[in-house]
């Protein structure tokens, strides 16, 4: 038996592959297009491991995906493949339409063709798990209840709109064709191998390099933070026991304002890697112009996942963020390899003109 993981060289996908093979001998066929955020160095520890088969491919390549499904007799697909950064979607939405909508459609078509050809017992056992985001639900006010699985979709960015479209396609393929699907909508992930364009790794690295720690607007945008390894355990649980056709929200029960998160990082770095001048990294915090349409608050209600499948996160924010900071301090060679010229060009493009 073998599973197929798409986007398995990205942040969450690579953590899932590593987590899966640490606890199972079931092989993983891992396909990734290796765009800027896909990094085979994340999977370096699996080099020479016969349980991990990597294929550089696009989920939009119907023929390649179908061939892999048939050749390796895949019993489950876990789809992480997506363009996933709001700021990038504002600057260039077309890539998000191509990957998140058209790519998801072609993946679904390949899976549907393969699934239709299976024997009945294998058809019954097969699963496609689609990994999505809480951003499809839009923005909450401070006193609003958390997002539940029945919350109305109100995406506010090209990124979240494209993910919402992919969620709807997955739902439609279940209701129209009977395809055995599962969908998870997660909150903000953090942890090892996180590409340093996102808030936590960006601030860790900028702090260590003596650069400004950019805070959008007033820094009071609230997010629910989920340690990536807890997300991996939730996906494993949903894949094993989730009810076909259902949606499961995955959250960390850790609502924090962005400014609070950055102050926590500064305090931790002050402890673990003090500045040479003895001052706090918090002195590097700089307020910049907010991004267009910035959602104010996300918050996940993961009660359904806990009550129905018995899952809850193992990490608090304090334990998870400490593990994350320590990982980045111990893996500066990985960070330096990621900080390529292309990444530097992106930073200049995104933050140019945002006056402090």
Q: Please identify which of the residues 114, 137, 159, 227 carries the catalytic annotation.
A: 159
Q: Please identify which of the residues 135, 149, 167, 230 carries the catalytic annotation.
A: 135
Residues 6+ apart with CB under 8 A from 310: 237
- What is residue 356's predicted lDDT score, i.e. its pLDDT? 40
User: Are the CB atoms for 273 and 329 separated by under 8 Å?
Assistant: yes
pLDDT over 70 (residue 347): no
CA distance linking residue 308 with residue 12, whole number of Å = 24
Known catalytic residue: 159? yes
Task: Give the mean model confidence (pLDDT) for residues 248-263.
Answer: 97
Q: Which conformational region is residue 235 in: left (phi greater than 0), alpha (psi within -120 to 50 degrees), or beta? A: alpha
Question: From the centroid of its chain, how far is CA 101?
Answer: 17
Domains defined for the chain, CATH in brackets: 2-190+226-254+294-316 (3.40.50.720)
Q: Please identify which of the residues 32, 58, 134, 295 carries the catalytic annotation.
A: 134
Q: What is the pLDDT of residues 43-59, one digit of tens each?
A: 999 999 999 999 999 99
Specify the 3-state DSSP secondary structure of 97: helix
Closest Cα partner for 231 from 125, 312, 331, 321?
312
Here the tokens at position 182 are 């599962």
Known catalytic residue: 94? no
- What is residue 337's predicted lDDT score, i.e. its pLDDT? 83
Q: Find tokens 């798990």 and name the residue.
A: 129
Q: What is the pLDDT of residues 20-30, one digit of tens each?
A: 999 999 999 99
pLDDT over 90 (residue 135): yes
Confidence band (pLDDT; 50, 70, 90) for 86?
A: confident
Q: Are strands 127-133 and 74-79 parallel, antiparallel or unpaired?
A: parallel
CA atoms within 13 A on the CB side of 63: 0
Confidence band (pLDDT; 50, 70, 90) for 340?
A: low
- What is residue 355's predicted lDDT score, i.e. its pLDDT? 44
Known catalytic residue: 255? no
């Amino acid at each position: 038996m073998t599973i197929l993981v798409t986007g398995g060289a990205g942040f969450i996908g690579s953590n899932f592959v590593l987590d899966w093979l640490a606890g199972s001998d079931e092989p993983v066929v891992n396909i990734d297009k290796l765009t800027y955020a896909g990094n085979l160095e994340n999977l370096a520890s699996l080099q020479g491991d016969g349980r991990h088969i990597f294929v550089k491919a696009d989920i939009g390549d119907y023929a390649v995906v179908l061939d892999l499904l048939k050749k390796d007799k895949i019993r489950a697909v876990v789809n992480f493949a997506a363009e996933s950064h709001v700021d990038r979607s504002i600057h260039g939405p077309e890539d998000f339409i191509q990957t998140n909508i058209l790519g998801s459609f072609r993946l679904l078509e390949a899976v549907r063709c393969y699934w239709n050809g299976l024997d009945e017992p294998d058809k019954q056992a097969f699963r496609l798990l689609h990994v999505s985001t809480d951003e499809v639900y839009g923005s909450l006010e401070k006193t609003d209840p958390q997002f539940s699985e029945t919350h109305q979709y109100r995406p506010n960015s090209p990124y979240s709109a494209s993910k919402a479209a992919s969620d709807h396609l997955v739902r439609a393929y279940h209701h129209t064709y009977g395809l055995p699907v599962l969908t998870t909508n997660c909150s903000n992930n953090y942890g090892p191998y996180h590409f340093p364009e996102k808030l936590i790794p960006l601030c860790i690295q900028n702090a260590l390099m003596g650069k400004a720690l950019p805070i959008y607007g007033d820094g009071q945008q609230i997010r629910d933070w989920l340690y990536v390894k807890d997300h991996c355990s939730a996906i494993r649980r949903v894949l094993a026991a989730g009810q076909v056709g259902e949606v499961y929200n995955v959250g960390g029960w850790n609502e924090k304002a962005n400014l609070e998160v950055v102050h926590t990082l500064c305090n931790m770095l002050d402890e673990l890697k003090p500045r040479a001048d003895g001052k706090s990294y918090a002195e590097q915090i700089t307020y910049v112009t907010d991004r267009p349409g910035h959602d104010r608050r996300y918050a996940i209600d993961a009660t359904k996942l806990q009550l129905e499948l018995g899952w809850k996160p193992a990490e608090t924010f304090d334990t998870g963020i400490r593990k994350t900071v320590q990982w980045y301090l111990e893996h500066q060679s990985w960070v330096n390899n990621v900080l390529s010229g292309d990444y530097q060009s992106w930073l200049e493009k995104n933050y140019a003109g945002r006056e402090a």
